[in-house]
Amino acid sequence: MGDTGKGNTGQQDVANAVARKCAASGCDFVQLLGDNIYESGVTSVTDAQWQTKFEKPYMGISQPFYVVLGNHDYGGNGAGNEFDKAKWEILYTASSMKWKLPANHYRRTVENTDFFALDTNLMMFGREVDKQKESMKNWLASSTATWKIALGHHPYLSNGPHGNAGSYDGLPGVPIANGKGVKDFFDENVCGKVDLYLCGHDHSRQWLVETCKGTELAVSGAGSSGTDLKGKNASRWQSNSIGFLYVTITGRQLVAEFIDTTGKVEFTRTLNK
């Protein structure tokens, strides 16, 4: 789930639903998909927002939370241009029992699955692109995992207000803001090379019909609030109500379920290899 850190009733409702699901069905970990602290990230590892927008809402969940960074985590009220701010979220890993963000991009292996956590906000600004390209190249070359899942904040395709990479926010001709940096990176380094890409940014839950050269695309950014769905990409299912995505991987089968705050499974997508 992404776009969580508002400290509002919606965040708490989703947190409670996740806690109930984990208690009933089991969870190995929670994956946050960016915009972890609204509106402008944190200013230190002792910032009071850590308690109100992370620790307290998720008190009922004992599992670790792995994290990627979003534009709000980089400050500027979402402009994402205060690049020094992200370090506090990385450093907080040493201060929290649950928060896990070892670097702005990283690889993690869990049993037969490799997770590639990317920093799409830096891609927006053309920063550290070569570094992330080299990381992806090396990770993919050395991966023997059955499943490969990329994680990031910004979508490749989305029916939410932000829309598709390369024309975010209806600004196809505006550099940086249009997300061309994200699209270019994914076209070259991610699409067709991983099984699934999970992201947030738009505050909705979507599973798109179109893939990215075979890479399935899902948006799960409704961790605290919802926004409209106005895009025209064909979707297998979509909703702007708050909730989360529950993924189970067993051998060569991946089952993903969109779940609302009552615990109802609203949509299931099963992938087999």
Element (H, E) at 245: strand 243-250
pLDDT of residue 204: 98
Number of helices and strands in the chain (H, E): 6, 13
State the residue range of the domain holding 114: 9-272
Structure tokens at 174: 């505006």
- Give the sign of the dihedral formed by CA 3, CA 77, CA 90, CA 189: positive
pLDDT tier, 266 (very low <50, low <70, confident <90, very high otherwise)? very high
pLDDT tier, 221 (very low <50, low <70, confident <90, very high otherwise)? very high
The CATH code of the domain that includes 129 is 3.60.21.10
Could you give the residue ranges of the DSSP H alpha helices within the chain? 9-25, 49-50, 86-91, 120-124, 129-142, 180-189
pLDDT of residue 258: 99
pLDDT of residue 49: 98
Those residues with Cβ within 8 angstroms of residue 59's Cβ, 6 or more apart along the chain or in another chain: none
pLDDT of residue 71: 98
| Phi/psi of residue 45, nearest 5 degrees | -80, -5
pLDDT tier, 46 (very low <50, low <70, confident <90, very high otherwise)? very high
Residue 55 inside a domain? The answer is yes
d(CA 255, CA 249): 6
The average pLDDT across 168-175 equals: 93
The average pLDDT across 16-28 equals: 98
| Phi/psi of residue 13, nearest 5 degrees | -65, -40
Residue 95 inside a domain? The answer is yes
SS3 category, 88: helix
d(CA 245, CA 17): 11
Residue 162 inside a domain? The answer is yes
pLDDT tier, 102 (very low <50, low <70, confident <90, very high otherwise)? very high
Residue 2 inside a domain? The answer is no
Give the percent of the chain with pLDDT over 70: 100
Overall domain count for the chain = 1
Residue 92 inside a domain? The answer is yes
Read off the pLDDT of residues 125-147 as tens digits, 9 standing for 90 and up. 999 999 999 999 999 999 999 99
Task: Give the distance between the most distant pair of CA atoms in the chain.
Answer: 48
pLDDT of residue 208: 98
pLDDT of residue 28: 98
Give the percent of the chain with pLDDT over 90: 100
pLDDT of residue 133: 98
Q: Which of 160, 145, 151, 140 is nearest to 232 (CA)?
A: 160
pLDDT tier, 168 (very low <50, low <70, confident <90, very high otherwise)? very high
The average pLDDT across 46-69 equals: 98
Residue 246 inside a domain? The answer is yes
SS3 category, 49: helix
pLDDT tier, 155 (very low <50, low <70, confident <90, very high otherwise)? very high
Residue 126 inside a domain? The answer is yes
The average pLDDT across 247-255 equals: 98
Residue 1 inside a domain? The answer is no
Q: Average pLDDT over the chain, rounded to whole?
A: 98
Parallel, antiparallel or unpaired: strands 65-67 and 30-32? parallel
Decide: pTM greater than 0.95.
yes
Contact 124, 176 (CB under 8 A): yes
Per residue in 82-98, is it b (16+ CB within 10 Å) or e — as a string?
A: ebebbebbbebeeeeeb
Read off the pLDDT of residues 176-200 as tens digits, 9 standing for 90 and up. 999 999 999 999 999 999 999 999 9
